[in-house]
Structure 1
């Protein structure tokens, strides 16, 4: 796991300084995806793999001053960029791995993950860890500001059947990790899968 985490850190450390300037128009898409979570004032929400914290302001707006917003990222440089952008005012920032969250069981109402799923070294285990910290009935949003085909084209590659974010693959992955997918959208201008935390089986 340490090597996998180091790879992710190296990838994002190299891109942290100009991340926001490379994708300057993503804020409305983040806000629209946050709105789909249906958060209420006072809710507790985690931005998993928060990066430069672009989702933190809309998350804060959704849960209000009485709510709790936590952003977690494994890359110090990304968290530093979030602070430089002033987004630490919208939520607490924690340097942590989503595989080992420093949170108690069932304390969250929702998790938001932008661009998260393709960077999880062990997706099933990591999604189970996210499920651990969310109450039964709580929600998960897996988001990307562009869809799979557009992202593949940007990266100069083709979509393959084993793509983790393909609907049947993601549905099965979530189901095996404590989640039930409730909606799935893969369009040119967004990818958004919403899931609900299943009642605990233990």
Structure 2
């Protein structure tokens, strides 16, 4: 557990140092976020969760999808990122909660749709995280694992090689989702984006 705790702290510090002005560094990402939200097929009046929401760029998009009668919640581990979300006025679009996406303070089966942008590969135990996201999603609800760059493009930007043990790789992701309550419905790992959509299996 100490190892998981230290990994979690490392992620928190990484994003804390970069929180201020986060979206100004990636100003062109919103259309890709909009396409990911569209793929979630959030029902009007539904309930949507942005897990690992960061500066909550997706909250206005999720709010537009669910409408005024729906519920939108953003959860993030890093208080500095949530502070940036508040500064950007994102509280107008949904609730913001400081919490670990692998230990959500939310009831079982609450959400129709979950967006997890740039989250799953930062989790110390991705399988546990996927299981927790399944716990709070109703049967038939949808999960979008998303990044506005594909894995190869992102690795190249950071000067890394693609890793065979990456949870987002198709060979690993399908079995991991299946083992944690999901069924993989779509996977797009192109240069333009990474988007995996999964459906919550019946309990």
Unmatched tracts of structure 2, length 5 or more: none
Does the 8 A contact of 2:76 with 2:98 survive in 1? Answer: yes
Aligned residues: 200
Whole-Å Cα distance in 2 between the matches of residues 181 and 108 of structure 1? 18
2:134 to 131, 134, 137: 131
> SS of 2:124's equivalent?
coil
Please give the per-residue CA displacement for 1:45-85, whole angstroms capped at 9, x wherever unaligned.
10000000011010000000000000000000000000111
TM-score (norm 2): 0.96
CA RMSD for the aligned pairs? Answer: 0.8
Q: In structure 1, what is the Cα distance between the partners aligned to 2:166 and 2:102?
A: 21
SS at match of 2:180: coil
Moved more, 18-27 or 49-58: 18-27
Name 1:175's counterpart in structure 2: 178
Structure 2 CA distance, aligned partners of 1:158 and 1:99?
27
Deviates more, 1:169-178 or 1:69-78: 169-178
Q: Post-superposition shift, 1:126?
A: 1.0
Map of 2:157 onto structure 1 = 154
After superposing on structure 2, the runs of 4+ consecutive aligned residues of structure 1 that deviate more than 4 Å are: none
Q: 1:99 aligns with which of 102, 111, 120?
A: 102
How far 1:160 moved relative to its partner? 2.4
Per-residue deviation at 1:172?
A: 1.0
CA drift of 1:18 comes to 2.5
- Kindly report which structure 2 residues correspond to 1:1-202, keeping only aligned pairs within 5 A, or say none: 1-200=4-203
Query: What are the ranges of 5 or more consecutive residues in structure 1 without an aligned counterpart?
Result: none
- The CA deviation string for residues 78-104 of structure 1, in whole angstroms up to 9 with x for no partner, is 000001111111110000011211111
